[in-house]
Amino acid sequence: MPIKSIKSSPTHPEGHYFIRNSLFNVQYSLFILHLFQNLHTHTNFSDGSDDPEKYIEAALIRGLSALGFSDHSPLPFKNTFALKEEETGRYCKTIAELRKKNQISSLHETNIKMQNAKGKMQIFLGMEADFIPGIGLSFVYFRDNFPLDYLIGSVHLVRSGSSSELWFIDGPDPATYDDGLNVLFGGNIRKGVGAYHRQINEMLTTRKMDIIGHLDKIKMHNRGRFFSETDPWYIALIEETLELVRQSGTIVEVNTRGLYKKRSDSLFPGPMILKKIHDFNIPVIISSDAHKPFEVSMLFNETADLLLEIGFRELMILTPSGWNTVSLKENSI
């Protein structure tokens, strides 16, 4: 890894954050708490590649303190990415058994190191619930019927008014995004992005979730073609949504997947929105949205560096007794 330093900021009272190079990292890692965790993970129960155990092995090797599984909630129509409804019980039972087997009584540094040395780590059972107004099972149904530790609320499919057709904004192929925009919104990007944000806002005001997933996913296939993230109308939509995030007490995930898959030029959300999230005092976590075991902590150190540069000082972490905060400055793997 090339030497990477973050320049001291004249406005930051502590000056240097830290200099990261390979030698320094080795020394540094001996003295810090390894409390990075990834709560956004997809296994072969939905659209991930492997059994859950493979992700735990990869997370142990990479020094994560905890791993949360968040396979896609089942949907009431044919698709290739979500849990099958009849498989949801087995998914939850499998992860709950791994959670029990790997139980860690406290998050003390020594305890984590001892547990990791024994090949164990804290496991959490979650789900990435799709919000599509009027379609699908409610978040309450998932919470009430399965022993979930947390829920990520996400929008991947956008409704256009009363039409039952959906705009798929995710996936690897930009042509799907372009076709949906043309067919459902007449190619009008302001209408399409407006519908996406209305759907996110409805989710924030009518559903209870712990984390909002990839907040600005709508930009992924845009890549500057249809709108600029500095357009005043787009910024107004972002600020309206962030106000609802703040009011609802939801955590924003800083999702690295778009960057490491090279499908996006920036994180979800990107730096402009992250600065606003910092100004709004909204809590954040870092997650990789892993679909393969080796993706469990991709770009975590780089993302932590960026968050520090913006001014964040804490990350949220999930513990067996609920949500807590951890110092971002002392976090590295």
- 3-state DSSP of the chain: CCCEECCCCCCCCCCCCCEECHHHHHHHHHHCCCCCEECCECCCCCCCCCCHHHHHHHHHHCCCCEEEECCECCCCCCCCCCCCHHHHHHHHHHHHHHHHHCCCCCCCHHHHHHHHHCCCCEEEEEEEEECECCECCCHHHHHHHCCCCEEEEECCEEECCCCCCEEECCCCCHHHHHHHHHHHHCCCHHHHHHHHHHHHHHHHHHCCCCEECCCCHHHCCCCCCCCCCCCHHHHHHHHHHHHHHHHHCCEEEEECHHHHCCCCCCCECCHHHHHHHHHCCCCEEEECCECCHHHCCCCHHHHHHHHHHHCCCEEEEEECCEEEEEECCCCCC
Nearer to Zn ion, 136 or 213 (CB): 213
CB of residue 6 to Zn ion, shortest distance in Å: 29
Nearer to Zn ion, 128 or 149 (CB): 128
CB of residue 255 to Zn ion, shortest distance in Å: 8
Stretch that binds Zn ion, among 45-53, 118-126, 289-297, 323-331 (CB under 5 A): 289-297
Nearer to Zn ion, 6 or 137 (CB): 137
CB of residue 311 to Zn ion, shortest distance in Å: 27
CB of residue 318 to Zn ion, shortest distance in Å: 16
Residue 222 touching Zn ion (CB under 5 A): no
Q: What whole-number distance in Å separates Cα of residue 284 and Cα of residue 317?
A: 9
Q: What whole-number distance in Å separates Cα of residue 323 and Cα of residue 317?
A: 6
Stretch that binds Zn ion, among 96-104, 107-115, 127-135, 306-314 (CB under 5 A): 127-135
Give 225: exposed, middle or buried? Use CB within 10 Å, 0-12, 13-18, 19+. Answer: exposed
Nearer to Zn ion, 70 or 94 (CB): 70
Quote the tokens at residue 245.
């995030």
Nearer to Zn ion, 180 or 213 (CB): 213
Stretch that binds Zn ion, among 95-103, 265-273, 288-296, 305-313 (CB under 5 A): 288-296
CB of residue 304 to Zn ion, shortest distance in Å: 20
* Binding residues for Zn ion, total number by CB under 5 A: 4
CB of residue 296 to Zn ion, shortest distance in Å: 13
CB of residue 202 to Zn ion, shortest distance in Å: 17
CB of residue 168 to Zn ion, shortest distance in Å: 12
Of residues 148-207, which lie at the interface with Zn ion (CB under 5 A)? 154
CB of residue 41 to Zn ion, shortest distance in Å: 8
Nearer to Zn ion, 65 or 154 (CB): 154
Give the residue, chosen from 289, 293, 305, 316, that forms a contact with Zn ion under the rule CB under 5 A: 289
Nearer to Zn ion, 70 or 115 (CB): 70
Nearer to Zn ion, 128 or 305 (CB): 128
Stretch that binds Zn ion, among 25-33, 87-95, 188-196, 282-290 (CB under 5 A): 282-290
Contact residues for 37 (Cβ-Cβ < 8 A; gap 6+): 64, 65, 66, 67, 68, 122, 285, 317, 318
Nearer to Zn ion, 154 or 160 (CB): 154
Interacting residues toward Zn ion by CB under 5 A: 128, 154, 213, 289
